[in-house]
Amino acid sequence: MTIRAVVWGENIHEQTNAVVAGIYPEGMHATIAAALNEGEGISATTATLQEPEHGLSEARLRETDVLLWWGHKDHGAVSDEVVERVARRVWEGMGLIVLHSGHFSKIFKRLMGTPCALKWREAGERERLWVINPRHPIAAGLEENFVLENEEMYGEQFSVPEPLETVFISWFQGGEVFRSGMTWRRGAGNIFYFRPGHETYPTYRDANVRKVLINAVKWAYNPAGALTSIHEAPNVPVEAALEPIVERGPKLHQAGEAGYR
C-alpha cells in the first residue's frame, strides 16, 4: 500500500528572496516531497498557493492520504473555502502535518481553535531537539537529541491545546524552550506539528529532519478510508431504537424532520 502524500508550499519566498531561492531553487515543497519519496511506501507530490484552488481541489484531496503544509508570508491569501475543504478531509481521516511557520496558517488555527501564537527571533542560533518520547513512531531511528546549527527561535508559550503526546522539546541557544513536536487527533484525522524549517536555512536538507518527516507521514496515515459519516448528525427514530422504548412527552420535531444546525 502506497501512502499518497501532498506537500503544500506557499512558494513565495523561493520566488522573491535570493537567499531562499539559493537554498531551495526547486522550491521548498519540492525539496520536502523529494525527502518523502526516499521513504519506503510513500508517493509524494506537491501543490502550491498559485495553482487553481491552491492545487487542493475536492478530487485531489479525496486521493490524498497525508497533507503537509508550509506557509509563512501570506497565510491570508489561502481561500476560506479551501481551508474548510481541508478541515473536512482531516475530520474524515486525512493526516495533516503542519510545518514551522504554518503554525499561523488558517488550517492549523481552524483545527486547533486557539491563537497558535509564540515568540520568535531570527538570529541563526543553535536549536537542539530532544526526543522526550523515544518509542513514539515519529521518533523512530533518531538519537536522543539532534542539532540544527542555524534556526529561527520559537519560544513558549505556544498557545495550542494540550496535545495527545509531546514528542520533541527544543532547547535554544538564546534561552528559550519550545514543544517542537506534538500530536492531536481531530475527528478521524491525525495531526502533527513540527517546528523546524525556517526558509533562510537548509533545514529540509538535514538528515534527521527528513527522517522525522517520513516517520510523521507513516504515523499520520489512516488506512481505514474516509469516515464520511462524521459530517452527519443522524436522527435515530423511536422505532429504530436499539432497545425498545415508548415515546413520551412533548416534542419539537415532527417525524422525519432534520435537526437544526
Q: By CB under 8 A, what part of segment 178-217 binds a second copy?
A: 179, 184-189, 199-201
CB of 128 to a second copy, least distance (A): 6
Which residue, 1 or 52, has its beta carbon nearer to a second copy? 1
Residue type, 201: Y
Provide the pairing of β-strand 145-155 with 165-172: unpaired
Work out whether 235 is an interface residue with a second copy (CB under 8 A): yes
Which residue, 52 or 259, has its beta carbon nearer to a second copy? 259
Q: How far is CA 75 from CA 16, 122, 230, 260, in A?
A: 16, 19, 27, 33
**Which grid coordinates are listed for 112?**
486547533
Work out whether 65 is an interface residue with a second copy (CB under 8 A): no
CB of 189 to a second copy, least distance (A): 8
Which residue, 20 or 52, has its beta carbon nearer to a second copy? 20
Give, as ranges, the residues between 32 and 51 that touch a second copy (CB under 8 A): none
CA dist., res. 8 & res. 29, Å (int): 6
Work out whether 251 is an interface residue with a second copy (CB under 8 A): yes
Work out whether 253 is an interface residue with a second copy (CB under 8 A): yes
> Residues binding a second copy: what is the number (CB under 8 A)?
101
* Residues 6+ positions from 48 with CB-CB distance below 8 Å: 8, 9, 10, 11, 27, 29, 54, 55
Residue 172 forms beta bridges with which residues?
A: 127
CB of 36 to a second copy, least distance (A): 20
Residues in the chain: 261
What dihedral do alpha carbons 65, 67, 68, 70 form, nearest 10°? 170
Work out whether 21 is an interface residue with a second copy (CB under 8 A): no
Neighbour tally for 164: CB within 10 Å:
11
Taking CB under 8 A as the binding criterion, the range among 34-42, 46-54, 57-65, 218-226 that sits at the site for a second copy is 218-226
Give, as ranges, the residues between 118 and 177 that touch a second copy (CB under 8 A): 118-125, 128, 130-135, 137, 140-141, 144-145, 150, 153, 155-159, 161-162, 164-166, 169-177
**Which grid coordinates are listed for 71?**
506557509
